[in-house]
Amino acid sequence: MTAFDTLIHILYLLAAASFVLGLHLMTSPATARHGNLLSAAGMAIAVVSTIAVLTHDDVIPALATIVLTVGLLSGGLAGLLTARRVKMTAMPQLVSLFNAVGGGAAALIAFGDAIKHAGSLHLSQQPVSATLTTFLGLLIGGITFSGSLIAGGKLAGIIAGKPMTFPGGRVLNLILVVVALASGVTYTAGYGGLPVLCALSAAALGLGVLATLPIGGADMPVVISLLNACTGVAVAMAGFVLDSTPLIIAGALVGAAGGILTKLMADAMNRSLLNIIAGGFGTGDDNTGGQPTAVTGAVREVAVDDAALQLAYAGKVVIVPGYGLAAAQAQHEVVELAAALTEHGVEVSYGIHPVAGRMPGQMNVLLAEANAPYQQMKDLEEINPEFSRTDVVLVVGANDVTNPAARRRGNAVSGMPILDVDQAKSIIVIKRSLGHGYAGIDNELYTDPKTAMLFSDAKVGLTALQAGLKAYAH
Amino acid sequence: MTPLLFADITIFVLSLLVGVEVISKVPATLHTPLMAGSNAIHGVVVVGVMVLAATVDTPLGYALLIVAASFAAMNVVGAYVVTDRMLQMFRPRPVAVRAAPQQSPGTS
């Protein structure tokens, strides 16, 4: 090992350490920004070191340098502009897009490395370890690429959010699995060339599409986490193909992050991963609110002024935001109301269910964007013991995650961890109608004698409450 | 199985375990920035694309290279920028709210 090689390896090690430490600093909102900057510094080190290797060894053809530079600059610019302009509500689809391009790049590396070998030496001379990682990188990367694009399209509303199934879908799926495995095994065994690689890529892309189409909008937090994990693994496989330690380490870290979030989200919905991937559960974004449904038991309605008065007299208020709040883009209104209450001397906090948004933690980002202090955001375990000491719970656009029926057996939400909203002294629910949530069952909270319904759009209702509060305060 | 491959597998497995250990401690509040931040970390695929660039010699190879390069650069730049944008929004509780009532952020 020359001195130059040693230096490069040390720099790569430094980059990998920065990634780990950067993630470690993400354990607190106070240090998280530094963590991200540290991780970015590590990335810069890795990129600069690689440029140094390429120029030092003088191995890169002139044309490749130009092609590489053009690609990097155009992609980097596109990424920069998108990241600057994107709205916080569009974060899930942006993360999906980054999963797609990351997985796609990993698959292309596997493919590009394979066709390099195809020209120079016979495939059968390749060690199995090289062909196997190429197979896996191409398969996982391809599935991630097309799957993330479909998921992102669903989140952005370009593709219908409803679960899409069509006759023969399962058979087609099975055929694609067989094609992918057959071509993969053929390639791994050393008998494949370009046609086999193309068959494998096509099968992987098709599988990604077919796997994501039948999954409904409510399951998106799981899907997006799972695709994130897949991207990480695909990048790690590309690292194996190229013998590149930074890629293996970073890929494994991302794989772990995605894996943990996938498990957390699936647990929060009390559904198994297999059940979610099989699909068919959960509907679109907006079509559940409209239809009135027969709810057994009396529902008590409350006027805006009374609700505002109730909030003003409370000592402790917990706000439970759900996807309805995000869909109505009412995060600013809710935070303004919370600020007004705080100023009035009321103790306010937010009880946020893990699957309140379309991706893990999305509600927290929306509230942070609207200037809510992060100390007021409480997760399920933190907030549940506090409900019994809470005077008023304000539920905005959340449904199934507050349904007390989850504690009983034998219904669609049984066993799902819920926010114990019904243990508070009184509850105000802002909702457009008595429509069902994704689980498609009545919410027993709405017929609880302690509950008062404020039938309104989230944005309109919150603004009215704030006006009512102001009128009372002066 | 070569010693090199075995070293790679060791690194992969240990990194997975480190990842699980570190990331389990991230609070739910930060799960979206965590995901965007890990998005940025898998942007390290850009290094792989650069390594690949040293070996291309066919038209198909060049075509793959330019797509891979733009994908990877978009991933790494975009994800770091958007993560930073998100994280700078996370503010601590304003000090002494009741003692000195700050101006309400609303205008309505």
The reply to whether residue B20 touches residue A259, judged by beta carbons under 8 angstroms, is yes
pLDDT at A123: 53
B81 is a domain residue: yes
B52 is a domain residue: yes
Judgement on whether residues A141 and A257 belong to the same structural domain of the protein: yes
Closest CB from B27, B38, B71 relative to A228: B38
- Going by C-alpha positions, the residue among A401, A68, A407 that lies closest to residue B46 is A68
**Per-residue pLDDT tens for A67-77?**
999 999 999 99
pLDDT at A125: 63
pLDDT at A290: 40
Output DSSP code: residue B30: G
**Per-residue pLDDT tens for A414-453?**
888 999 999 999 999 998 888 787 777 888 899 899 999 9
Judgement on whether residues A159 and A260 belong to the same structural domain of the protein: yes
Asked if A394 contacts A319 with a C-beta cutoff of 8 angstroms, the reply is yes
Tokens at A392, concatenated: 């008023």
B7 is a domain residue: no
Region B38-64: mean pLDDT is 93
Res A289 pLDDT > 50: no
Asked if B29 contacts A377 with a C-beta cutoff of 8 angstroms, the reply is yes
Given the residues A400, A420, A422, A448, the one annotated as active site = A400
Residue of A nearest to B54 (CA): A60
pLDDT at B98: 44
Res A25 pLDDT > 50: yes
Listing from the earlier edge strand, what are the strands of the sheet with A426-431?
A377-379, A347-352, A316-321, A392-396, A426-431, A451-455
Residues from chain A contacting residue B45 (CB–CB below 8 Å):
102, 105-106, 109, 235, 238, 247
The rounded mean pLDDT for chain B is 86
B53 is a domain residue: yes
Domain holding A386: CATH number?
3.40.50.1220
Res B103 pLDDT > 70: no
Judgement on whether residues A424 and A445 belong to the same structural domain of the protein: yes
The reply to whether residue B57 touches residue A33, judged by beta carbons under 8 angstroms, is no
Q: How far apart are CA B75 and CA A210, in angstroms?
A: 24
Judgement on whether residues A5 and A34 belong to the same structural domain of the protein: yes
What are the Cα distances from residue A455, in Å, to A151, A311, B85?
Answer: 32, 17, 35
pLDDT at A288: 39
Rounded percentage of chain A residues whose pLDDT exceeds 70: 94
The rounded mean pLDDT for chain A is 88
* CB contact A91 to B (< 8 Å): yes
Res A319 pLDDT > 50: yes
Region A277-303: mean pLDDT is 57
Residue of B nearest to A244 (CA): B48
The reply to whether residue B22 touches residue A23, judged by beta carbons under 8 angstroms, is yes
Using only C-alpha atoms, chain B has a radius of gyration, in whole angstroms, of: 22
Judgement on whether residues A98 and A70 belong to the same structural domain of the protein: no
Closest CB from A28, A46, A91 relative to B44: A46
pLDDT at A284: 39
How many structural domains comprise chain A? 3
* Contacting B residues, span 17-76, partner chain A, CB-CB under 8 Å: 17-20, 22-58, 60-62, 64-76
Region A172-199: mean pLDDT is 89
Asked about A400 being catalytic, the answer comes back as yes
- Going by C-alpha positions, the residue among A249, A201, A218 that lies closest to residue A104 is A201
Q: At which of A255, A285, A315 does a domain end? A: A285
Specify the range with the lowest mean pLDDT, choosing from A101-115, A122-136, A259-273: A122-136
Residues from chain A contacting residue B5 (CB–CB below 8 Å):
129, 240
CB neighbour list of residue A39: distance below 8 Å, 6 or more residues apart: A18, A19, A21, A22, A23, B37, B40, B41, B80
How many structural domains comprise chain B? 1
pLDDT at A463: 93
A250 is a domain residue: yes
Q: How far apart are CA A400 and CA A406, in angstroms?
A: 9
Judgement on whether residues A217 and A75 belong to the same structural domain of the protein: no
Tokens at B50, concatenated: 């650069």
Judgement on whether residues A27 and A65 belong to the same structural domain of the protein: yes
Judgement on whether residues A330 and A270 belong to the same structural domain of the protein: no
**pLDDT top residue among A331 and A57:** A331
Q: Which of A254, A377, A462 to mutate to test the interface with B (most CBs of B within 10 A)?
A: A254
B39 is a domain residue: yes
B8 is a domain residue: no
How would residue A280 be classed by pLDDT, with cut points 50, 70 and 90?
low
* CB contact B15 to A (< 8 Å): yes
Residue of B nearest to A13 (CA): B11
Rounded percentage of chain A residues whose pLDDT exceeds 90: 61
Helices (H), B1-108: 3-23, 31-41, 45-53, 59-87
pLDDT at A428: 94
How would residue A122 be classed by pLDDT, with cut points 50, 70 and 90?
low
Asked if A334 contacts A370 with a C-beta cutoff of 8 angstroms, the reply is yes
Please work out, in degrees rounded to the nearest 5, the angle formed at the alpha carbon of residue B82 by the alpha carbons of B79 and B87.
120
Q: Which of A8, A48, A50 to mutate to test the interface with B (most CBs of B within 10 A)?
A: A50
pLDDT at A272: 82
A4 is a domain residue: yes
Q: At which of A285, A320, A348 does a domain end? A: A285
pLDDT at B1: 66
**Per-residue pLDDT tens for A321-342?**
998 888 888 999 999 999 999 9
* Contacting A residues, span 102-141, partner chain B, CB-CB under 8 Å: 102, 104-106, 108-109, 111-113, 115-116, 119, 127, 129
* Contacting A residues, span 411-440, partner chain B, CB-CB under 8 Å: none
Specify the range with the lowest mean pLDDT, choosing from A126-130, A137-141, B18-22: A126-130
Distance between B46 CA and the closest CA of chain A, angstroms: 8
Residues from chain A contacting residue B77 (CB–CB below 8 Å):
75-77, 79-80, 83
**Per-residue pLDDT tens for A380-423?**
999 999 999 999 999 998 888 999 998 888 888 888 899 999 99
Judgement on whether residues A74 and A100 belong to the same structural domain of the protein: no
Res A162 pLDDT > 80: no
**pLDDT top residue among A124 and A223:** A223
Res B67 pLDDT > 80: yes
Q: How far apart are CA A8 and CA A249, in angstroms?
A: 16
B78 is a domain residue: yes
A251 is a domain residue: yes
Residue of A nearest to B66 (CA): A71
The reply to whether residue A235 touches residue B42, judged by beta carbons under 8 angstroms, is yes
The reply to whether residue A91 touches residue B82, judged by beta carbons under 8 angstroms, is yes
A36 is a domain residue: yes
Residue of A nearest to B24 (CA): A260
* CB contact B3 to A (< 8 Å): no
A299 is a domain residue: no
Give the structural domain span for A25.
Answer: 1-85
Burial A279-297 (b: 16+ CB within 10 A, else e): bebbbbbeebbeeeeeeee
Judgement on whether residues A142 and A215 belong to the same structural domain of the protein: yes
Residues from chain A contacting residue B80 (CB–CB below 8 Å):
36, 39-40, 43, 83
Start-to-end C-alpha separation, chain A: 77
A294 is a domain residue: no
- What is the three-state SS of chain A? CCHHHHHHHHHHHHHHHHHHHHHHHCCCCCCHHHHHHHHHHHHHHHHHHHHHHHHHHCCCCHHHHHHHHHHHHHHHHHHHHHHHHCCHHHHHHHHHHHHHHHHHHHHHHHHHHHHHHHHHCCHHHCCHHHHHHHHHHHHHHHHHHHHHHHHHHHHHCCCCCCCCCCCCHHHHHHHHHHHHHHHHHHHHCCCCCHHHHHHHHHHHHHHHHHHHCCCCHHHHHHHHHHHHHHHHHHHHHHHHHHCCHHHHHHHHHHHHHHHHHHHHHHHHCCCCHHHHHHCCCCCCCCCCCCCCCCCCCCCCECCHHHHHHHHHHCCEEEEEECHHHHHCCCHHHHHHHHHHHHHCCCEEEEEECCCCCCCCCHHHHHHHHCCCCHHHEEEHHHHHHHHHHCCEEEEECCCHHHCHHHHCCCCCCCCCCCCCHHHCCEEEEEECCCCCCCCCCCCHHHHCCCEEEEECCHHHHHHHHHHHHHHHHC
Give the structural domain span for B71.
Answer: 26-87
Q: Which of B71, B80, B81, B93 to mutate to test the interface with A (most CBs of A within 10 A)?
A: B71
Which amino acid makes up residue A354?
P
Judgement on whether residues A62 and A186 belong to the same structural domain of the protein: no
**pLDDT top residue among A457 and B101:** A457
B38 is a domain residue: yes
Q: At which of A53, A85, A117 does a domain end? A: A85
Judgement on whether residues A179 and A268 belong to the same structural domain of the protein: yes
